[in-house]
Chain A
């Protein structure tokens, strides 16, 4: 059994990371999941959150704002909407992300006339963003839900 798997993190604009890791913890939509070598092939969507990649030289963390992950035979590819190494995330980044989510939430409320589906989704996105901010110790300015 192989003890490492290939981990690729790509965003639409660039390849953020590509390395050999022992495990990846993904913020999947239905709960965090950890992918280790020989994981069953899985495709999952991601929620905004922190992604941990445990490599031989320690853990690297990335902030992702959504997207999806493919766990296959060769490794894990994460196709993130937007992603940054955690150290590069600043208060402004979080504020901007939360603000965008809040806007989308307001718009969904407006557009879909409070139908449960889209509005709930947007609300969840917003709360996920806020939770992510809190998780990494940068609490956003406007957590009013």
Chain B
């Protein structure tokens, strides 16, 4: 029979765990709100940017002189994967899902005989990928110290990528991050950033496209904007990631709290039953002792 004291201890331990998970859930909820706000604030810029880039890219098209960032290097030998995950765990399957998604690409690229290089952003992704693909990891970006991702962080990452691109270290670049749909669902996403891809402008059906004057020329503007586009995309991904992480953590911690509640209930029931058994036992002993007299 389980000891009463032990049961009591276990109940207390589960209760304090519950307090912690509850607190983490609340913290995640608060952080989620901020992350969502940040993501929303960044949206106007990203939207305008994409619209302009789409237009420019469509008008420059596949011309020979188009910048390399748009056209690609003409080869498809080396893939650079930028895997963005969280710095911390305890957020359900969030990190695992992103990593899994990238591993699908790694396996496929390797099977196609391509060279794969990986840059990780966030400790959790690095930990997993290092175990499996140690030789492919070329860099890691540490955001542990960063409380709130800013555009500067995205620029730093983008600069690193562009430098490698200029040095001809890779041909295509993909980023992996968690897309925030709502608090309970986040999806791992893969997005190609180099060569740049844009949604084709849709409005060519109605009223035709506006014809812009470009100052300086189209291609100069494009060459100026493409590197910024990489930073913008990474920034958007980082923000989505931050929101997704908090969303995932909130859900995970909510589950944990509920689970702890169930456990406390079960343990309490067992505790009461055991206590009752002990009392009954004592009574039996007393009664049978009295009868023996």
Contact = CB atoms under 8 A, between A and B. Distances in A.
Contacts, number: 76
A123 B48 CA distance: 29
Interface in A57-100: 67-68, 70, 72-73, 77, 79, 81-82
Contacts of B221: 43-45, 68
Nearest to A29: B216
Interface in A24-61: 28-30, 33, 40-45
Contacts of B48: 8, 10, 70, 77, 79
A15 interface: yes
Q: Is the interface of B mostly helix, strand, loop or mixed?
A: helix
Contacts of A44: 214-216, 221
A43 to B, nearest CB: 5
Contact of A43 (B41, B215, B228, B232): B215
B151 A43 contact: no
Contact of B232 (A8, A12, A30): A12
Nearest to A74: B210
A13 B214 contact: no
Interface string B136-158: 00000000000000110010000
A43 B52 contact: yes
Given A12-B235, A15-B44, A45-B224, A28 B215 contact: yes
Contact of A29 (B38, B150, B215, B228): B215
Contacts of B231: 12
The interface size bin for chain A is 20 to 34
Contacts of A13: 38, 41-42, 45, 150-151
Contact of B45 (A12, A28, A29, A40): A12
Contact of A30 (B38, B210, B215): B215
Interface in B3-30: none
B213 interface: yes
A129 to B, nearest CB: 17
Contacts of B49: 79
Interface of A: 8, 10-15, 28-30, 33, 40-45, 67-68, 70, 72-73, 77, 79, 81-82
Interface of B: 38, 41-42, 44-46, 48-49, 52, 56, 150-151, 154, 210-216, 220-221, 224-225, 228, 231-232, 235
